[in-house]
Amino acid sequence: MNDIRWFAPNHYTTLVVPELRRRGLSIDLEGQASARLALAMSGTVAETAWRYAVLRGCPLVVFIWDLPPDRTGAGSPDPVWWLGGHFLHLPRPIGGFTSHRRYYSRLRYIAAHAKEVWVPSEMTGFSLLSRFGLPSRRVPYCYDSERFRPAGTLRDEPATLITVSRMEAHKNHAATLRAAARLGRGVQVRLIGRGPESGSLERLASSLSVRCRIDQQATDADVVEAYHRARVAVCPSRFEGFGLTPIEALASGTPVVASDIPPHREFGSRAATYFPLDDDAALVTAIAAALDSPAPDPAALRDLSIPSAAERFEALLRPLLK
């Protein structure tokens, strides 16, 4: 029997697995073999992990990255029951979540019946308590500390502002384009990611006469090189559960200007420069200063390395395996 059946939606959420295996834990990433514990590393795989845990009769831990306010709003989860191997979902006539109601209502049910719920940040823990009414344990994850490191690469001229994230409204990419237009100096923008906002961002860049490259097909190697060549990483999000982009940029030795939201402060600490949301003038000032600033010290992210995160996970997982 394995120690853990690890349910992961992508490679990123398995970064700590090799280190945990080196520490003696047996972890299965696929299949239906029995395990002492099931771990869902995202809400998107929580239902699959729940069904496995019920079938195998083992406890379940659910890691929830975030609860976006534009989806849950001020609403309440719909009533959900687990009956005969199926979820029964009864939509509320009024007062439900703003969108994705079935998904978030089932996630709330699963989290409420899990052995433990883990979150990456204080912000997600607060969201979980206020929107789901559930306590959680803060367990910060990691960035890919084997991939994102400083390098002696020459920076782009003219200067490039970079952001790596989904093209969604709450990521607030438009603020970066407006700032680039006001900065002048030939500043260009590179946005790496996919999402529904890409078309509108292209049109905005054109209307502002900002040179902007939107890269929806970047490889892992492309992302690393982009951080190394950029002069400043701009992270203007309105909401994050963890905030990976500023962490990766700092680890790459690239100065960071980030919106002053709790997760950015929690993990960027003094290594980043912050600006108030919806204050374009403050954003322009912060970027202008960062363009001439020295590279940040990646040592500030030591606790977010793969080995550090694996140590946290091991300390919490072993008691659950007894």
Q: What is the DSSP string of 86-132?
A: EEEE---SSSB-SS-HHHHHHHHHHHHHSSEEEESSHHHHHHIIIII
Q: Are residues 127 and 237 in the same domain?
A: no
User: Where is 112: in which H helix or E strand?
Assistant: helix 101-113
Q: Which two tokens stand for residue 217?
A: 């097909």
Which pLDDT belongs to residue 133?
A: 94
Q: Where on the phi/psi map is residue 181: left (φ > 0), alpha (ψ -120 to 50), or beta?
A: alpha
Q: Are residues 199 and 123 in the same domain?
A: no
Q: Are residues 191 and 268 in the same domain?
A: yes
Range of the domain at 194: 160-301
pTM reported for the whole predicted model: 0.94
Domain-located, residue 183? yes
Q: Are residues 164 and 297 in the same domain?
A: yes
Q: Are residues 297 and 252 in the same domain?
A: yes
Which pLDDT belongs to residue 149?
A: 93
> Strand, helix or coil at 229?
helix
Which pLDDT belongs to residue 299?
A: 82
Domain-located, residue 150? no
Q: Where are the alpha helices (DSSP H) in 184-305?
A: 198-208, 220-229, 244-251, 262-268, 280-291
* Residue 257 backbone dihedrals phi, psi, to 5 degrees: -115, 120
Q: Are residues 184 and 292 in the same domain?
A: yes
Domain-located, residue 220? yes
Residue type, 153: T
Which pLDDT belongs to residue 125?
A: 97
Q: Are residues 253 and 124 in the same domain?
A: no
Which pLDDT belongs to residue 144?
A: 97
Q: Are residues 45 and 82 in the same domain?
A: yes
Domain-located, residue 264? yes
Counting the structural domains of the chain, the total is 2
Q: Are residues 219 and 284 in the same domain?
A: yes
Q: Are residues 316 and 284 in the same domain?
A: no
Domain-located, residue 17? yes
Domain-located, residue 151? no
Q: Are residues 201 and 295 in the same domain?
A: yes
Q: Are residues 166 and 285 in the same domain?
A: yes
Q: What is the CATH number of the domain that holds 123?
A: 3.40.50.2000
Contacts of 120 (CB under 8 A, 6+ apart): 63, 65, 138, 139, 140, 141, 241, 242
Domain-located, residue 152? no
Yes or no: say if 69 and 35 are a contact pair by the CB < 8 Å rule: no
Domain-located, residue 149? no
Per-residue pLDDT of the chain (322 residues; tens, 9 = 90+): 999 999 999 999 999 999 999 999 999 999 999 999 999 999 999 999 999 999 999 999 999 999 998 888 888 899 999 998 999 999 999 988 888 999 999 999 999 999 999 999 999 999 999 999 999 999 999 999 999 999 887 888 999 999 999 999 999 999 999 999 999 878 999 999 999 999 999 999 999 999 999 999 999 999 999 999 999 999 999 999 999 999 999 999 999 999 999 999 999 888 999 999 999 999 999 999 999 888 898 888 999 999 999 999 999 999 999 8
